[in-house]
């Protein structure tokens, strides 16, 4: 089992569908695999049905639309699909289950099925980022992978591919990227869904400016869906649905009432879709047509029976292109489309916007704002949806907007909330004017006594992205990177700030200069960790800084007589193009030349073992350290363990541990620890157990020693920490 994390529109569903399609092609082409994937919405697993039954129902519903004639039986997913092959259940949209307890129940069921060990199921659970506690039922051992957004180069490549049918794809891609900067969509366009939408909008009319902000992009895209659905002939389809409904009634009065009600529903379809989205996002689980039928604006005439009316409402929804029909119900094509339409409903008029203002910011007297939880209602909403709501609340620029802005300004006085809303503006291009968030961000980034270094750096970075405040943000970021006391708020903050500075357009040289200064500066209270980290970060900036980084790493690796950082600097140097031999030679010297720092030699030898062509040098150093009686016993054990990881030296490691189990210079508990470590080596478990059993039955040993031997045999907790003996230090030291 694993979890796939991604933000709104980040490509989670697309990735799962692509894997599903690739696997189908592989099997249809006669190529086998370890799994057969089956995709299911997380909401389909929320009933009380056992997992095989729930899968059968969900897949039957999906495949019925493409010609499945018979229902899949409940036993279909109860057994492996083929010998040695598992079902790979792709669970999409976990975050779309609104109730935390229900999500927890689904995850508990999946975790139970995954741990059953029958080889029937493997799982991928796709979701937007959730609080860590929400994924608790899976346990900490389940890996979590996060889909990364497009890089600027990725986006340019994607756009060039999209515009390949235009006269000059590269020119259009460059113009597209330039337009993104003007429309506040540069960050948003790095998500695949938004890139897809904006490329479609541009390709339809390259001369037309891109819409402003995310809400503007969604509005234009929804309009484009209608325009591009000409082949569906939406108007005629709706006209035909109205005709069918009224023709079912032969009495003129009933015929006319049915036609008028149907026409009214068709005329208000955009508002009905917004209403449907709002109900769905607020946990209304009834079928879509039932939700629409309950709307006061589309009341069913008395003579029109309910099944006919509901079928007509379905006929209205089906051709819009905004919803997809699954298992007899309608769902929005994408979660963000649901959020966009729900926000339209929540901000549909002045009264609705006032209610939303009081719901998001329940502050009666902003001047008296003090409690940290006053903004909790807004912070409890999903960030993407909150972004749409704020756009609808702030866009009209009226007295309601002014009141909401005042409330937000007071909320932003609290550091964490200031950063929260500033990130919201950056991530979703929310229409919040610069004067609301720029002052508190500036104050936070400039105040040495306020917050921690990470918050100061985040505030400066966010300030860079606010219109008219880029220069101030860069100045503050530079000040943080040059802080004479890097330990003020965390020792790595100055390096992180310099890296961030170097990543900004036009600031690469400034950031590089700061990193080089940190790596070379011996006057400030910096440690070797920071110097090494800064030099490594300088090398990552590109070829232009490679030789300067190499010089700095060489200095660190040679001017420190002992320590892990000497080995780390040499290893980083070896990783630079053209400097493998130089870095490796420094590591060989650090691993073999006696300095009295056995831990430093061990670090160098372990790092040396990772370099191609130098494993035998590392093996010799590790063997010498493990055999040196003047070393602390735990360093000797670690050297022997590291030797086992070097190809061809597993048995040499085992021989060393066997010697440790009988070494009279070690205490009994230390020899037991050596036996335990011997048992972890492949093929030596029985031998280790023989040694432990011998100690457990030796009446001449203290009771505590015999008890520990029994614990080791059972694989249970040990009374003595693995790095401690009954006495410390051992006699050899």
Could you tell me which of 424, 428, 458 has the C-alpha nearest to residue 441?
458
What confidence category does residue 278 fall into, taking pLDDT thresholds of 50, 70 and 90? very high
Both tokens of residue 189?
Answer: 């366009």
**What region does 502 belong to: left with phi over 0, alpha with psi -120 to 50, or beta?**
alpha
Q: For residue 729, is the peptide bond before it cis, meaning its omega torsion is within 30 degrees of 0?
A: yes
pLDDT of residue 561: 56
Q: What is the pLDDT of residue 487?
A: 62
Count CB-CB contacts under 10 A for residue 544.
Answer: 10
Edge-to-edge strand list for the sheet holding 2-5: 35-41, 86-92, 121-127, 2-5, 144-146
Alpha-carbon span 461 to 427, nearest angstrom: 13
pLDDT at 230 over 60: no
- Residue 729 has what pLDDT? 33
Q: Would you say 558 and 546 are in contact if contact means Cβ atoms under 8 Å apart?
A: no
Q: Using alpha carbons, list the distances in angstroms from residue 114 to 45, 107, 108, 203, 664.
A: 15, 10, 10, 45, 48
pLDDT: which is higher, 502 or 600: 502
Position 649 pLDDT exceeds 80: yes
Structure tokens at 447: 């105040």
Per-residue pLDDT band for 136 (boundaries 50, 70, 90) equals confident
pLDDT beyond 70 at 486: no
pLDDT value, residue 732: 35
Look at residue 475 and give its three-state secondary structure.
Answer: helix
Is there a contact between 570 and 604 (Cβ–Cβ < 8 Å)? yes
- Residue 91, classed as helix, strand or coil, is strand
Between CA 411 and CA 417 the distance in angstroms is 7
Nearest alpha-carbon partner for 571 in 521, 536, 529: 536
pTM of the model: 0.77
> How many degrees, rounded to 5, is the angle at CA 423 between CA 396 and CA 376?
75
In this structure, the number of other CB atoms found within 10 A of the CB of residue 712 comes to 22
User: How far apart, in whole angstroms, are the C-alpha atoms of residue 401 and residue 697?
Assistant: 81
Helix (H) or strand (E) holding 326: strand 323-326
Sign of the torsion formed by the C-alpha atoms of 249, 251, 254 and 258? positive
- How confident is residue 523, by pLDDT bands cut at 50, 70 and 90? low
Q: In the structure, what pLDDT confidence band is assigned to residue 248 with cuts at 50, 70 and 90?
A: confident
Q: Cα 560 from chain centroid?
A: 39
Is the alpha carbon torsion for 277, 278, 284, 288 positive or negative? Answer: negative
Instruction: Round to whole Å and give the CA distance between 438 and 467.
Output: 9
CA distance 308 to 453: 64
The half-sphere exposure of 105 on its side-chain side, counting CA atoms within 13 A, is 15
More confident residue, 479 or 593: 479
Cβ-contact 672, 693 below 8 angstroms = no
Identify whether the C-beta of residue 203 lies closer than 8 Å to the C-beta of residue 163.
yes
Element (H, E) at 335: helix 335-346
Poorest-pLDDT segment among 13-17, 327-331, 386-390, 675-679: 327-331
Better pLDDT: 372 or 459: 459
Which tens digits make up the pLDDT trace of 600-638?
888 888 888 888 889 999 999 999 989 988 888 888 999
Question: What does the alpha-carbon distance between residue 88 and residue 186 come to, in Å, rounded to a whole number?
Answer: 36
Mean residue pLDDT across the chain: 86
**For the ranges 58-62, 411-415, 724-728, which has the lowest average pLDDT?**
724-728
pLDDT number for residue 731: 34
Q: Give the number of other CB atoms < 10 A from CB of residue 82.
A: 11
Count of CB atoms within 10 A of residue 355's CB? 12
Contact 637, 722 (CB under 8 A): no
Q: What is the mean pLDDT of residues 124-141?
A: 89
Task: Please report the pLDDT score of residue 363 as a whole number.
Answer: 61
Contacts of 726 by beta carbon, 8 Å cutoff, 6+ apart: 667, 668, 669, 702, 704, 705, 720
pLDDT-derived band at 672 (thresholds 50, 70, 90) equals confident
Write the DSSP symbol of residue 701: S
pLDDT tens-digit readout, 534-581: 999 999 998 999 999 999 999 888 876 556 777 888 888 988 999 999
pLDDT score of 724: 36
Q: What Rg, from alpha-carbon coordinates, does the chain have?
A: 33
Give me 350's structure tokens. 């002045």
- Answer for the pair 411, 421: CB distance below 8 angstroms, yes or no: yes
Tell me: pLDDT of 381 over 60.
yes
C-beta of residue 73 within 8 angstroms of C-beta of residue 27: no
What pLDDT score does 730 carry?
A: 34
Residue with tokens 């009081």: 358
pLDDT of residue 723: 39
Is 231's pLDDT higher than 80? no
Could you give phi then psi for residue 28, rounded to 5 degrees?
A: -65, -25
167 pLDDT more than 70:
yes
Q: What is the pLDDT of residue 100?
A: 86
């Amino acid at each position: 089992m694993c979890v796939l994390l991604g933000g709104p529109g980040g490509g989670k569903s697309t990735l799962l569908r692509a894997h599903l399609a690739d696997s189908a092609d592989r099997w249809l082409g006669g190529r086998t695999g370890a799994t057969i994937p089956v995709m299911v919405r997380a909401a389909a697993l929320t009933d009380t049905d056992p997992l095989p039954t729930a899968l059968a129902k969900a897949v039957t519903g999906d495949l019925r639309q493409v010609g499945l004639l018979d229902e899949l039986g409940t036993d279909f997913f109860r057994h492996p699909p083929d010998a040695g092959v598992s079902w790979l259940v792709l669970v999409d949209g976990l975050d779309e289950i609104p109730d935390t307890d229900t999500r927890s129940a689904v995850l508990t069921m999946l975790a139970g099925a995954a741990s059953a060990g029958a080889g029937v199921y493997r799982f991928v659970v796709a979701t937007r980022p959730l609080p860590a506690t929400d994924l608790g039922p899976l346990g900490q051992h389940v890996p979590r992978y996060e889909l990364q957004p497009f890089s600027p180069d990725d986006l340019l490549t994607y756009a060039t591919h999209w515009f390949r049918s235009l006269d000059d794809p590269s020119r259009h891609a460059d113009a597209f990227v330039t337009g993104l900067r003007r429309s506040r969509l540069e960050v948003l366009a790095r998500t695949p869904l938004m890139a897809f939408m904006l490329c479609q909008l541009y390709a339809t009319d390259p001369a037309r400016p891109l819409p402003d902000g995310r809400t503007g992009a969604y509005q234009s895209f929804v309009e484009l869906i209608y325009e591009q659905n000409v082949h569906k002939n939406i108007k005629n389809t709706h006209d035909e649905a109205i005709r069918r409904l009224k023709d079912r009634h032969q009495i003129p009065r009933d015929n006319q009432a049915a036609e008028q009600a149907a026409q009214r529903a068709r005329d208000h379809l955009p508002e009905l879709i917004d209403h449907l989205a709002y109900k769905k996002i607020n946990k209304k689980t009834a079928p879509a047509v039932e939700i629409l039928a309950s709307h006061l604006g589309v009341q069913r005439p008395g003579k029109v029976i309910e099944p006919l009316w509901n079928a007509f409402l379905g006929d209205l929804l089906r051709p819009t292109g905004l919803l997809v029909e699954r298992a007899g119900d309608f769902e929005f094509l994408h979660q963000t489309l649901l959020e966009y339409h729900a926000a339209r409903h929540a901000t549909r008029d002045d009264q609705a916007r006032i209610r939303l203002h009081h719901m998001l910011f329940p502050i009666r007297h902003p001047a008296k704002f003090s409690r940290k939880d006053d903004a909790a209602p807004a912070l409890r909403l999903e960030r993407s949806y909150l972004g749409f709501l704020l756009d609808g609340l702030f866009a009209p620029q009226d007295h309601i907007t002014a009141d909401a802005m005042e409330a937000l300004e007071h909320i932003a006085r609290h550091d964490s909330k200031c950063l929260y809303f500033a990130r919201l503006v950056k991530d979703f291009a929310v229409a919040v004017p610069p004067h609301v968030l720029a002052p508190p961000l500036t104050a936070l980034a400039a105040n040495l006594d306020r917050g921690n270094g990470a918050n100061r750096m985040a505030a400066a970075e966010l300030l860079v992205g606010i219109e008219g405040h880029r220069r101030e943000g860069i100045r503050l970021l530079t000040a943080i990177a040059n802080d004479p006391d890097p330990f003020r708020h965390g020792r790595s903050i100055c390096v992180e700030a310099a890296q961030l500075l170097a990543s900004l357009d036009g600031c690469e040289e400034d950031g590089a200069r700061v990193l080089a200064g940190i790596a070379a500066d011996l006057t400030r209270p910096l440690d070797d960790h920071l110097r090494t980290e800064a030099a490594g970060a300088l090398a990552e900036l590109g070829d232009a800084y490679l030789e300067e980084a190499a010089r700095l790493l060489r200095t660190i690796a040679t001017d420190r007589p002992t320590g892990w950082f000497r080995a780390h600097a040499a290893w980083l140097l070896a990783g630079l193009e053209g400097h493998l031999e130089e870095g490796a030679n420094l590591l060989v010297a650090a691993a073999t030349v006696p300095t009295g720092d056995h831990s430093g030699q061990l670090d160098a030898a372990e790092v040396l073992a990772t370099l191609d062509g130098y494993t035998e040098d590392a093996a010799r150093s590790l063997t010498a350290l493990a055999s040196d009686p003047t070393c602390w016993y735990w360093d000797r054990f670690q050297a022997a363990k590291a030797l086992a990881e070097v190809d061809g030296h597993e048995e040499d490691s085992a021989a060393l541990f066997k010697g440790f189990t009988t070494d009279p210079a070690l205490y009994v508990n230390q020899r037991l620890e050596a036996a335990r470590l011997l048992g972890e080596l492949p093929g030596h478990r029985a031998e280790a157990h023989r040694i432990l059993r011998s100690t457990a039955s030796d009446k001449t040993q203290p009771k505590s020693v015999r008890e520990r031997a029994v614990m080791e045999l059972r694989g249970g907790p040990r009374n003595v920490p693995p790095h401690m003996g009954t006495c410390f230090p051992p006699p050899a030291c």
